[in-house]
Amino acid sequence: MKKGLLPLLMIALFYSDSVFMLFFPENVFDGAYVPAPHFFIIGLLFMSVFYDRNTAIKYGFLFGFLFDLFYTELLGAYLFFLPLIVYITSKLTKWLQSTFVIFFIIILFDIALFEMIVYGLNLLVQRTEVSFEPFVSMRLYPTLALNALYYILFAIPLRNAFQKFKNKFG
Amino acid sequence: MPQFLTNKRLIILLGSIIILVALIGFSIRDRENITWPEKFVKDVTGFGQNIISKPVSAIEEFFDNVGRLRNTYEENEKLRTHLDKLAQLESDVTRLEKDNVELRKLLEKEDSLADYEPVQATVIARNPDRWYDLITIDQGESNGIEPDMAVMTASGLIGKVKNTSKFTSTVQLLSSNDAQNRVSALIQSDKSNYGLIEGYDDEKRMLKMTKIPSDAKVEKGQFVTTSGLGGVFPKGLVIGKVMELVPDEFGLTQTALVEPAASFYDLEHVMVSKRTMTKVLPEEDNRQQVLIEEEGL
């Protein structure tokens, strides 16, 4: 296994969000719910716990920057808050035992926190006028549900991948 | 030593807050196009996105086609009834077009606000953040795309080009909430009523058309198209249908809720319209049209 596979995995995760957005059958909910995919963040958090925290922070910086530039066009949001989320997660997993169930709750907490930070930021720069309660019901719950589903499907493969990377060159 | 550590952390924290604020300020500034480092990063990221999106697109299209095969018969029936009317319509259109060209020649006014050259593009990404409706298309400066060009699908206008890099461009959809995102529009009836498409109602999922004169008689179901007066978009691109009319807070103008003709979801292929006529309206005969608009307001 070559060392290049780790960045390759992260790049694939980075693009997976927008590819999911392209082919997500939006008409099912008729726009009533707005679930946002955060597959890259989930991958990054797996990396921070099962591979190496500092590498994950660096990846968070780099890909957060790309995220801001290429997708959201609000520079700085992902760039700073992805590493912050990684940092918080590494602190949380130190106190709590990292079983799949507890890590599931930590990840959902992280995504909720991240969503709220980005919501606040968007409210601040007037990119959105949605008030807090519609935000929670229209966006936060569906987002958590979507990412919870993703976690359930991909937790084991992701953990195995990062553990393999760690054994090889950690 | 621990004292030093907390100090260092504090400095990092404060430093990053300052940079964060500076970066956000930089990115929400009103600017014509992005800077060249941004363009470069966009091109590189867009290249990777292209490699990933295109095969996935092909697979998705295949399944779509298979799904469509099931109701081919019904569709065929429906299309056949349309086809009968089409022949007549087509001959009408060619006749009218010819008339139009001849009359224009008579008036010595050959350019029209409605002329545009379409450029086909494929959507390669959509902002997964979903706070702001942006899509990325696979055509850029190298194909003559410039900021502020109109972007549409077969069914109608969907947005405008926000910024361009060499091989990709970012399109801001009409559904994104931006005070600077205004489109000059008109409601088609015997006497055209002008207004501005400005903002999007998230809950009703309709566009808001403001600044319609309070005495204008607007009916439900009338078509809304671009007016070509904004100086950017060509004239006559379909935007949608009027669904509701409400007076604004001061009672001086009216606001119409417009159901968009094009869906903002599941976008795959779009057209970017290069307007052939000049962007600004300094010519005297064009100025008349501006006056008409002002009268309307």
Identify the band that residue A9 occupies on the pLDDT scale cut at 50, 70 and 90.
very high
Interface test with A, best of B129, B169, B170, B205 (most A CBs within 10 A): B129
Give the number of other CB atoms < 10 A from CB of residue B199: 20
Of B229, B224, B216, B243, residue with least CA distance to B186: B224
Does residue B144 or residue B181 have the better pLDDT? Answer: B144
A55-59, A95-99, B281-285, B289-293: the lowest-pLDDT one? B281-285
Cα angle value A25/B176/A62 (rounded, 5°): 80
Domain layout of chain B by residue ranges: 35-70+111-279+289-297
Residue range B257-280: mean pLDDT, rounded: 81
Q: What pLDDT score does B216 carry?
A: 83
Chain B positions touching A82 (Cβ under 8 A) are none
- Asked if residue B282 has pLDDT above 50, the reply is no
- The pLDDT tens digits for A10-55 are 999 999 998 888 877 776 776 678 889 999 999 999 999 999 899 9
Query: What's residue B147's pLDDT?
Result: 87
Interface contact flag, A126 B24, Cβ < 8 Å: no
Higher pLDDT, B133 or B297: B133
Cβ atoms of residues B259 and B243 within 8 Å: yes
Q: Which residue of B has its CA nearest to A34?
A: B130
Over residues B76-104, the mean pLDDT reads 88
pLDDT digits (tens, 9 = 90+) for A109-151: 999 999 999 999 999 888 888 889 989 998 999 999 999 999 9
Over residues B197-203, the mean pLDDT reads 82
Cα gap A158→A147, rounded to integer Å = 14
Contact of A133 with chain B, judged by CB distance below 8 Å, is answered with no
Q: Tell me what percent of the residues of chain B surpass a pLDDT of 90.
A: 26
Mean pLDDT of B114-141: 89
Interface pTM (ipTM) of the complex? 0.87
Residue B138 to chain A, least CA–CA distance (Å): 13
CATH of domain B35-70+111-279+289-297: 2.40.10.350
DSSP assignment of A114-131: HHHHHHHHHHHTTS----
Q: Look at A39 and A98; give whichever has higher pLDDT.
A: A39
Task: Say yes or no to pLDDT of B226 above 80.
Answer: yes
Q: Residue B110's pLDDT band (boundaries 50, 70, 90)?
A: low
Token code pair at residue A85? 């989320």
Q: Are A13 and A158 in contact (CB under 8 A)?
A: no
In percent, the amount of chain B with pLDDT more than 70 equals 91
pLDDT for res B1: 47
> How would residue B112 be classed by pLDDT, with cut points 50, 70 and 90?
confident
**pLDDT-derived band at B281, boundaries 50, 70, 90:** very low
Burial (0-12, 13-18, 19+ Cβ within 10 Å), A134? middle
pLDDT at A127: 84
Residues of B in contact with A115 (CB under 8 A): none
**Domain spans, chain A:** 38-162
Task: Look at residue B286 and tell me whether its pLDDT is greater than 80.
Answer: no
